Amino acid sequence: MNRNVRKAENMNNLQLSYCIKITEKLKAIPLSIYFLQPVDLTQAPDYLKTIPKPMDLGTVSKKLESHQYATVNEWKSDVNLIWKNAKTYNPENTFCYMFADELHRRFKEMSEHIPKTKDEEWVLKLNKSHTKFQ
């Protein structure tokens, strides 16, 4: 077995709380209006022909609350699927596409450093404070 391949670690309570906070922050951004609940199939009847696995922020929140994500990467994958689906289904010049692109960028920044331990959280907060101070 290759020793360089690391097994994905299960999400702990600290990581879960960060994932919940980040998801709630995303939902609070006005641009997220299109992504808060599943796509209305009466408005987009062909959606499921193009998008095999729909995802939205409301579903992500429910999955977090019911502990359905085993790892942080599973959660990230679902959130990124929201943006991918929107950019696959909608033309580039539409608001929905542009909002998805911007939210994807913001999500990447927000989710870059999710601490695994209280010590890591402390170091992360210290680094943020240090950066602000400078």
Q: Which residue has the tokens 């994905």?
A: 8
Please report, in tens digits, the pLDDT of each residue of the chain (134 residues total): 444 444 457 899 999 999 999 999 999 999 999 999 999 999 999 999 999 999 999 999 999 999 999 999 999 999 999 999 999 999 999 999 999 999 999 999 999 999 999 888 888 888 778 777 77
Lookup: tokens for 82:
């929201």
pTM score above 0.95: no
CB of 26 closer than 8 Å to CB of 103: yes
Give residues with Cβ within 8 angstroms of 37, minimum separation 6.
56, 57, 58
Q: Which of 18, 20, 58, 22 is nearest to 37 (CA)?
A: 58
Q: Which of 126, 79, 123, 124 is nearest to 104 (CA)?
A: 79
110 exposure class (CB count in 10 Å sphere: 0-12, 13-18, 19+): middle
C-alpha 46/C-alpha 72 separation (Å) is: 31
- Ramachandran angles phi, psi of 98, nearest 5°: -65, -40
